[in-house]
Amino acid sequence: MDNNQPIGIFDSGIGGTSIWKEIHNLLPNEKTIYLADSKNAPYGQKSKREIIGLSIKNTDLLLEMGCKLIVVACNTATTNAIRELREKYEVPFIGIEPALKPAVANSKTQIIGILATQGTLNSELFNKTTEMFRNTKIVEQVGHGLVQLIENGNMNSPEMTRLLHSYLIPMIEADIDYLVLGCSHYPYLIPQIKNILPQHIQIIDSGRAVAKQTQRILKEQVGLSSTPSNEAVFYTNSNPKVLRGILENRYEVIEKDF
């Protein structure tokens, strides 16, 4: 694989751009191609089989486009399909999982909250991880409806505020001191989440860790780009306006059927 080929990134929609931003900041010399599978969002309520099928479809397209490494910028796809992707393809995959470890390591109350999709919280991979933290109480909450509101461009709506209140207040009452964001769409909600949480509750997401892991695997296994280019191309199969908006109209967004 040529080290000047692009990094491929996919998500069920626009949320994984939160991960793309971290990768683009840490590795500004790398070309990136991002696929927003918004037509099929949300993945969170789909079966494992469906999520594997969609992840294969996205990977095939990124490989056709010549990507040298694939970032699965979706917790739901990672926790349900990354093992199958790694078995099927030779290209390296970087996944994203809820950052429970740093939250558990730093929590004083040993009660932490996690907000994620149903697909992630029900997955075998996530449940295996929580078994490692038996001495910590993990308050799980499915973020029903949040991804749809973000995908529809209603991130700052009264409905969003209402849903966030209904999910976060019980966690505050349970005395969490860390909130783990287990979905790549949710970092866009941090300003609103901060308005609801008391100041002592820390918010953790996995974006930076994924970018660092991408850098490490590129160095060790694939090679960093030797002809620096910060080109970034975004493909979406639905609603390009919302994706352009989240990227502040600074990057090329192409509508494509996939």
Q: Give the residue numbers marked as catalytic.
A: 74, 183
Rounded to a whole number of angstroms, the minimum distance from the CB of residue 38 to ligand DGL is 9
Pick the piece of the chain touching ligand DGL (CB under 6 A) from 9-17, 55-63, 154-162, 166-174. Answer: 9-17
- Min CB(40)–ligand DGL separation in Å: 8
Residue reference for tokens 């849903």:
163
Residues from 178 through 217 that contact ligand DGL (CB under 6 A): 183-185
* HEC per residue, 153-179: CCCCCHHHHHHHHHHHHHHHHCCCCEE
Residue count of the chain = 258
Q: Amino acid identity of 184?
A: S
Give 101's Cβ-side CA count (13 Å radius). Answer: 5
For residue 112, which of 174, 183, 170 has the smallest C-alpha distance? 174
Kindly tell me which of 222 and 247 has the beta carbon lying closer to ligand DGL. Answer: 247
Interacting residues with ligand DGL between 28 and 57 (CB under 6 A): 41-44
Closest CB to ligand DGL among 5 and 234?
234
From 9, 27, 51, 74, residue interacting with ligand DGL (rule: CB under 6 A): 74
Is the Cβ of residue 62 or residue 222 nearer to ligand DGL in the bound state? Answer: 62
Name which of residues 83 to 122 contact ligand DGL (CB under 6 A).
117, 120
Q: Does 225 bind ligand DGL (CB under 6 A)?
A: no
Burial class of residue 195 in the structure, from the number of CB atoms within 10 Å of its CB (0-12 exposed, 13-18 middle, 19+ buried): exposed
Residue 95 CB, shortest distance to ligand DGL, in Å, is 10
Measured between alpha carbons, how far is 107 from 209 in angstroms, rounded to an integer? 19
For ligand DGL, the closer CB: 102 or 145? 145
Structure tokens at 93: 């995959």
Q: At its nearest, how many Å lie between ligand DGL and the CB of residue 200?
A: 26
Number of residues that bind ligand DGL (CB under 6 A): 16
User: Would you give the binding string for ligand DGL spanning residues 143-172, x where CB under 6 A is met?
Assistant: ----x-------------------------
When binding is defined by CB under 6 A, the residue of 6, 9, 10, 12 that contacts ligand DGL is 12
As given in the structure block, the two tokens for residue 231 are 């080109």
Output the smallest distance, CB 175 to ligand DGL, in A.
26
Nearest-10 Cα torsion for 5, 9, 13, 16: -130
Q: Are 143 and 183 a contacting pair, CB within 8 Å?
A: yes
Q: Give Cβ neighbours of residue 228 (< 8 Å, ≥ 6 apart).
A: 28, 29
| Residues at the contact surface with ligand DGL, assessed by CB under 6 A | 11-12, 15, 41-44, 74-76, 117, 120, 147, 183-185
